[in-house]
Amino acid sequence: MSALAVDHLLGIDGMKLDDAERILETARSFDEVNARALKKVPALRGRTVAMLFFENSTRTRLSFELAAKRLSADTLNFSSSGSSVSKGETLRDTARNIEAMKPDLVVVRHQSSGAPWLLANAMSGAIVNAGDGQHEHPTQALLDAYTLLQRFGRTPQEGLKGKVVVIVGDIARSRVARSNMLLLTLLGAEVRVAAPKTMLPAALEQYGVSTSHRFDDVIGEDVDAVMMLRIQKERLSAPVMASEADYAVGWCLSRQRAARLRDDCLIMHPGPINRGVEIDHDVADDPARSVILEQTKNGVAVRMAVLYLLAVKRAVTTEEA
């Protein structure tokens, strides 16, 4: 298998289709490892993965940690709360000190867009963006694409051509939406995004998606998957809606709206969910259509693939140097 074209996973923007397919294909083999009684392989034995979380996380953090451990890597865990960031240490100085411990791979989540690029310049290990501000969340998009392909019974090479995916909610402030628009279109899907005017940025045509300001206009029998997003309150400086109840009237995936979707239409959400705001209880827990917990499960195999392939690339680059 040839190495990835990239040395870091900073975003989906600019990613080659070959790299996306390779990550998704490799995740399939790690899915098989995760189904075994003994869920561990020695692929990263002797390597160190530093996990730097400057922003809260449940799914991403835990699945990266599990991914590293299942690959037999040593892990370094850093949270900004409880660290010397609270004493005024900058991101660059934090990075320089962690670099002194020579991690091979560095997973970073940060509230500032672009933080992973800063680390890629300041550190020698391979950097993985685990979410930077409202910019990108590449491993979320990869695990979402993986979930869709698995459910549709397609290989990564077969892609998502002919499938319609609707993304709904706070598109403007969502790194999940941006990475998904880029990756799902790269894999051939038709992507429709819908949001209130205050949550839909201009110039989305560059992503090859269609847009709407009415949820009810984008759902129907032709839709294969609906991805709901929460309102990114932590990124709001002023209210963008009258109230959550008003928002829910126009933008909640309610039981009534879900009834307009096919029985095999997949219902997705990256989490965390605000039940009753962007998605109703029974829709989120729909045993036939909701794949929300599958997304979380698949995050482990996809992140194993990302860590493994970047470590392979690093070994190849270091040998060649």
Q: Write out the residues near ligand CP by the rule CB under 6 A.
A: 57-61, 131, 140, 270-272
Residue closest to ligand CP (Cβ): 60
Cβ nearer to ligand CP, comparing 177 with 189: 177
How many helices (H) and strands (E) in the chain?
11, 9
* Under 8 Å between Cβ of 61 and 51: yes
74 beta partners: 48
Cβ nearer to ligand CP, comparing 47 with 61: 61
Minimum separation from the CB atom of position 239 to ligand CP (A): 22
Cβ nearer to ligand CP, comparing 26 with 174: 174
Residue written as tokens 């029998």?
Answer: 221
> From its phi and psi, is residue 202 left (phi > 0), alpha (psi between -120 and 50) or beta?
beta
Minimum separation from the CB atom of position 57 to ligand CP (A): 3
* Under 8 Å between Cβ of 25 and 159: no
Exposure of 121 in the CB half-sphere (CA atoms within 13 A): 7
Minimum separation from the CB atom of position 295 to ligand CP (A): 8
Minimum separation from the CB atom of position 228 to ligand CP (A): 12
Cβ nearer to ligand CP, comparing 130 with 312: 130
Residue 166 CA to its chain's centroid (Å): 16
Minimum separation from the CB atom of position 319 to ligand CP (A): 34
Cβ nearer to ligand CP, comparing 94 with 139: 139
